[in-house]
């Protein structure tokens, strides 16, 4: 399924960090994309010669992708999911304006209201980041 981002996750501008979903498999995985623009709010008042996306923003983008796999499940629709933590985040490079990023999160475990997922970020088919994420559903 390809839901609209605003139909699944509660975040809105400027905290909505993904542009669209490629695929969402409820309870299993989600894939989303983001095109990094020079007009992003986190680039405001920065020198244009070396703009880099803050890494916590990239982790939040990955988390929003994973939340879609949880909140698209019938038993969790209408609820809120929270990003509970990061384990083992590894970055291979930085992210800059013009990058088209693909976020993929696979849910590894979902028990009661706690979920564990493994996420990756790819740019041009190359994996740039991976992390284990923890989710909590209200």
> pLDDT at position 25, please?
96
* Host domain of residue 102: 5-137
Q: Which residues pair with 137 in a beta bridge?
A: 81
Q: What is the DSSP letter of 111?
A: E
Q: Any idea what the CATH number is for the domain that residue 56 is in?
A: 3.10.129.10
Number of domains in the chain: 1
> pLDDT at position 118, please?
98
The three-point CA angle 93-8-17 to 5° equals: 30
pLDDT 10s digits, 15-61: 889 999 999 999 999 999 999 999 998 998 888 888 999 999 999 99
Contacts 24+ apart (CB under 8 A), 11-15: 11/64, 14/41, 15/60
Q: What is the DSSP letter of 36?
A: P
Among candidate residues 80, 28, 91, the one with its CA nearest the CA of residue 58: 91
pLDDT at 10 over 80: no
């Amino acid at each position: 399924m390809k839901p609209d981002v605003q139909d699944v996750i509660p975040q809105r501008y400027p905290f909505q960090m993904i542009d669209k979903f490629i695929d969402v498999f409820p309870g299993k995985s989600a894939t989303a994309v983001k095109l990094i623009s020079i007009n992003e709010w986190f680039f405001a008042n920065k020198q244009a010669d070396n703009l880099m996306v803050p890494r916590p923003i990239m982790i939040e983008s990955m988390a929003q992708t994973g939340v879609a796999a949880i909140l698209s499940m019938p038993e969790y629709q209408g609820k809120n999911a929270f990003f509970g933590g990061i384990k083992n985040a590894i970055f291979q490079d930085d992210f800059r304006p013009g990058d088209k990023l693909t976020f993929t999160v696979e849910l590894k475990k979902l028990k009661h209201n706690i979920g564990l997922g493994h996420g990756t970020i790819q740019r041009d088919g190359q994996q740039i980041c991976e992390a284990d994420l923890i989710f909590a559903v209200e």
